Amino acid sequence: MTVTSTNQKVQFNGNGSTTVFAYNFKIFASSDLSVILRSAAGTETVQQLTTNYTVSGVGEASGGNVTMGTAPASGTTLTILRVQPNLQGLDLVPNDPFPAGSMEDALDKLTFMVQTHDEEIGRSIKASKTNVIADSEFTVSATDRANKLFSFDSSGNLSIAQELGTYKGNWAASTTYAVRDLVKDTSTNNIFICITAHTSSGSQPLTTNTDSAKWSLIVDAASATTSQTAAATSATAAASSATAAASSATAAASSATDAAGSSGASGAATSATAAASSATAAASSATSAASTLTTFQQQYHGANSSDPTSNLTEGDLYFKTGSGGGLRVYNGSAWVTAAFDVSGALLAANNLSDVASAATALTNLGVTSTAAEINLIDGGTARGTTAIADGDGLLVNDAGTMRMTNVQTVKTYMTAGVGGGGTEFIASSGALSNAADVEFDQFDSSKYDSYIFKFYYLIPATDSVWPIGQVSSNGGTSYDTTNGNYHYGDNQDFNGYYLSPVYNMGSAANEYGMCGEMELFAPHLSIYTFADIRTLMVSTSGVLVDASAKKNQVHLVTAAQNAIKFSFSSGNIESGEIVMFGIKNS
């Protein structure tokens, strides 16, 4: 058989009841399949042939079924993957008849091996085609690289790095530091990591150093020290308050002793009265101070990022922090911004009886438009020459109401509301320069019925060549190059759509390349794909030549096509441009 598909893996979601799962590719033995069950938590379990499942359809080009002994539960994923053994079992005996079937099977197996490797490589982490990794090997042993990071060094090559960085101790001037070096700033005790390799200069702290942009703070010890100092200060203040209270108690005891030691009953009585009066006065002062503090705390709620919601009395105040911040006052039902100067304010005296309502204010002024409609107008008068972009807005009259819409909406209306059809630009190759070929895979049958390709002065890099177009049914993975699958003129076989009026195109000074267009009709249908080709060129003798004899062409394969490649029969495309347009669905 021929191998026309790269498919070698299928996946299914378990539902707790389905046990039969189809695979659509050929295998040569039941053991050529790997069946893996993945749980919702990500745990993968390789299933065992016969124990967990059986296989049918071995040797069938269309595949067969995997029948599970137990239905995969909901939330699990079943993966069926072809894993072709890397073995060669064909033994060719000299002078024996040629075993065509066995040879074809061997070639199929080799192709399956390549597809297996390609599938595994496709899941690997690798550099792009334009990237360069000069050294992709590392020699660090398993013990030395345990619990470390797989990373890249300063040259972009693979390396084994520390968990975070390399600690270099205290920062010092005139020292060479590499990326991810860690240092301590002894002036603040902060820890920094180097983000740009350099030789240090200047002095600490690193936050104001000349090279501060080459360091990043990872441990803010200075802020922690400040918090510690504040806590110690608070503790000291609390201790001082306790000492003051003890001193007050001692003074009171002394006063009592003095009163007891006064000479005579009269002196004692006087001292007692004075002491009592002092006590009463102190108590009154304390009561007054407590009452004043309580009243203030109840009225002023301090600084908050949002409106207080409890213990509210009309006239209460608080300072709103953050966006829209400022002093706010409680009016008995809601918090409003406190205002102290109303000069220039919009008041009822200015014919705005309700400045809190834009609609009422506009009515008072005799304006019939809404505030939202007025806000759409920026007051500009100059038209200017600025082009309209997709994000721009347009003011439209929507059944008597002015509304804003955007350019995309108008474009959608013009396309769908007014009607479909018409030609739409899809893609361009841009100015070509020594290109091997040009591929277009922007086919979209949900939007386009047919496609037009415009050729602008296509010039080959070599002489005596001709341009061709070859289609693909797998999105450009491969293209049909079979001679005889394309016809032009009176059933002439060819290996692609023949685009040139003549065979001998060249790139001499008096040859200006090929211009024209090709229309590809309904390539999404699984029937022959017809093309209408109209191209022109000037021959080496200066004669204008057209492709009328090769105008009507066809691709004789009954399959939907979804990509096309343009190239010359030999060599590269020296210059020119190809533009793709779509004929939109009506």
Residue bearing the bigger pLDDT, 438 or 124: 438
- The DSSP call for residue 413 is I
Cβ atoms of 78 and 68 within 8 Å: the answer is yes
- The residues near 117 (Cβ < 8 Å, ≥ 6 apart) are none
The continuous run of DSSP H or E covering 439 comes out as strand 438-440
Least-confidence region, from 119-128, 400-409, 567-576: 400-409
Query: Between 436 and 339, where is the model more confident?
Result: 436
What pLDDT score was predicted for residue 268?
43
For residue 462, what is the domain's CATH number?
2.60.120
Per residue in 390-424, pLDDT (tens digit) is: 767 777 777 767 777 876 676 666 655 445 568 99
Q: Is 230 a domain residue?
A: no
Confidence at residue 297, expressed as pLDDT on a 0 to 100 scale: 58
* 239 found inside a domain: no
Q: Residue 23 pLDDT > 90, yes or no?
A: yes
- pLDDT given for residue 421 in this prediction: 67
Q: Is the pLDDT of residue 264 over 50?
A: no
DSSP calls for 330-399: E-SSSEEE--S--TT---GGGT-S-TT-HHHHHHHTT--S-HHHHHT--------SPPP-TT-EEEEEET
> What pLDDT score was predicted for residue 82?
92
Give the DSSP H or E segment for 2.
none
CATH number at residue 210: 2.10.10.90
3-state DSSP call for residue 294?
Answer: helix
Q: Are residues 371 and 486 in the same domain?
A: no
For 299-313, what is the mean pLDDT? Answer: 85
Q: Are 402 and 431 found together in one domain?
A: no
- pLDDT reading at 356 higher than 80: no
Beta strands in 247-309 (DSSP E): 300-304
Residues 324, 371: one domain?
A: no
263-272, 424-433, 441-450: range with lowest mean pLDDT:
263-272
Strand duo 326-330 + 335-337: pairing: antiparallel
Of 266 and 413, the structure prediction assigns the larger pLDDT to 413
Burial 346-375 (b: 16+ CB within 10 A, else e): eeeeeebeeeeeeeebbebeeeeeeeebee
Would residue 277 count as lying in a domain?
A: no
Provide the 3-class DSSP secondary structure of residue 113. helix
Give residue 208's domain range: 159-223
**pLDDT, greater one: 83 or 125:** 83
Residue 171 located in a structural domain: yes
Q: Quick check: is 234 in a domain?
A: no
Same domain, 196 and 99: no
- Furthest-apart CA atoms within the chain: distance in Å: 150
> Minimal CA–CA distance to 47: which of 73, 69, 25, 23?
69
Same domain, 575 and 429: yes
pLDDT at 13: 97
- Rounded to 10 deg, the angle between the 221-260 and 264-299 helix axes is 150
- Co-location of 400 and 449 in the same domain: no
pLDDT in the model for residue 410: 67
DSSP letter string, 155-209: TS-EEEE-SS-EEEEE--TT-EE-TTEEEEETTTTEEEEESS-EE--S-S-GGGS
Residue at a domain's end among 208, 223, 238: 223
If 0-12 CB within 10 Å is exposed, 13-18 middle and 19+ buried, where does residue 202 land?
exposed
pLDDT of residue 97: 83
**Distance between CA atoms of residues 361 and 408, nearest Å:** 35
Residue 369 banded pLDDT, cuts 50, 70, 90: confident
* Residue with the two structure tokens 């297996």: 116
User: Is the pLDDT confidence value at 106 over 80?
Assistant: no
Is residue 440 predicted with pLDDT exceeding 50? Answer: yes
Mean pLDDT of the chain: 80
Please determine, for residue 254, whether its predicted confidence score (pLDDT) is greater than 60: no
| Residue 231 banded pLDDT, cuts 50, 70, 90 | low
Residue pLDDT, tens place only, 32-64: 999 999 999 999 999 999 999 999 999 898 999
Nearest partner of 558 among 530, 526, 523, judged by Cα: 526
Name the token pair of 6: 């790269």
pLDDT > 90: what percent of the chain? 39
In this structure, the answer to whether residues 452 and 498 fall within a common structural domain is yes
List pLDDT tens digits, range 460-493: 999 888 899 999 999 999 999 999 999 987 778 8
Structure tokens that stand for 553 in this block: 């062409």
Q: Are 400 and 464 in the same domain?
A: no
Q: In the 8-state DSSP scheme, what is residue 212?
A: G
- Same domain assignment for residues 438 and 404: no
Question: 254 in a domain, yes or no?
Answer: no
Task: Find the mean pLDDT for residues 541-566.
Answer: 84
More confident residue, 67 or 367: 67
Residues 6 or more apart in contact with residue 462 via CB below 8 angstroms: 506, 507, 568, 570, 571, 572
| Lowest-confidence region among 255-269, 379-393, 425-439, 568-582 | 255-269
411 plus 439 within the same structural domain: no
Contact in structure between 459 and 576 (CB atoms under 8 Å): yes
Evaluate whether residue 14 is within a structural domain: yes
d(CA 428, CA 455): 10
Residue 539 confidence (pLDDT): 67
Q: How far, in whole angstroms, is CA 412 from its chain's centroid?
A: 26
Q: Answer yes or no: do 186 and 79 share one domain.
A: no
- Is residue 401, in this structure, part of any structural domain at all? yes
Are residues 505 and 406 part of one domain?
no
Residue 126 confidence (pLDDT): 76
Hey, what long-range contacts does 73-77 have (CB within 8 A, 24 or more apart)? 73/14, 73/16, 74/13, 74/14, 74/15, 74/16, 75/14, 75/39, 75/40, 76/13, 76/14, 76/37, 76/38, 76/39, 76/40, 77/11, 77/12, 77/13, 77/14, 77/37, 77/38
pTM: predicted TM-score of the whole model, two decimal places: 0.36
CA angle 488, 489, 492 (to 5 degrees): 60
**Lowest-confidence pick of 25-29, 46-50, 183-187, 525-529:** 25-29
Mean pLDDT of the region 206-220: 92
Considering only residues 360 and 567, tell me which one the structure prediction assigns the higher pLDDT: 567
**pLDDT at residue 70 in the model:** 96
**How many domains does the chain fold into?**
5
User: Looking at the predicted structure, is the pLDDT value of residue 90 above 70?
Assistant: yes
